[in-house]
Amino acid sequence: MPRVSASTKAEHRERLLSAAAAEFAAKGLDGARVDDISVAAGLAKGTIYNYFDSKADVFRAVIEAWSSRTEEVRGEIDDEAPVEDQLRSILEADMQVTGEIEEFARTAFREVLTASPEELADLLPSWDPVDAEIQRVVENAQAAGELRSDRSSIELTRFLLSLTNGMLLEHWFPDSDLTLEEIPELVLDYYLDGARTR
């Protein structure tokens, strides 16, 4: 049997991730079927196991791809820029990518909100790259005196993430007029009002 080239493997993996995002968006983590993901990607049943160990592993990989895409859209952050501009660049990139995969994003939020503590501990690290970048910006802003230092960088990061996630949920409520594009400015207004040095 001929060996599959690295470029073909990369292409298959991307197709599987795209098909998985659609399958999870339609059926949730529990209802999704790995064979359906393989077939939707144009591959044979079971092919997915050449790339991922389990359905949960595929789900985490889709979230990780979301984080990677957010970093790609955002580009480099200017560490010399005011904290507001740095955080805005992260939030705007996140909302842009969330819009690209919005149905999967809704599913990911639902899975996190209904996960057991063990499942949650397994899922949350998938978002670590974006969360870590926010915490780095917060720490730098605290060191520069832009953000208050009576709260830890972890607390201030979680406060920003909670505001962002709350605004996303508001966006998804029926009859909401809040757009993804409006979320970064609203979050920054509320966040900086409480987080700036007093």
What is the domain class of 63-195 according to CATH?
mainly alpha
pTM for this structure?
Answer: 0.86
What pLDDT band is residue 198 in, cutting at 50, 70 and 90?
confident
Third-level CATH fold of 1-52: Arc Repressor Mutant, subunit A (1.10.10)
Q: Count CB-CB contacts under 10 A for residue 154.
A: 12
Domain limits, CATH 1.10.10.60, in the chain: 1-52
Q: Count CB-CB contacts under 10 A for residue 121.
A: 10
Q: Mean pLDDT, to the nearest integer, of 18-34?
A: 92
Domain limits, CATH 1.10.357.10, in the chain: 63-195
pLDDT per position as a tens digit, 87-137: 999 999 999 999 999 999 999 888 888 888 888 888 778 777 888 999 999
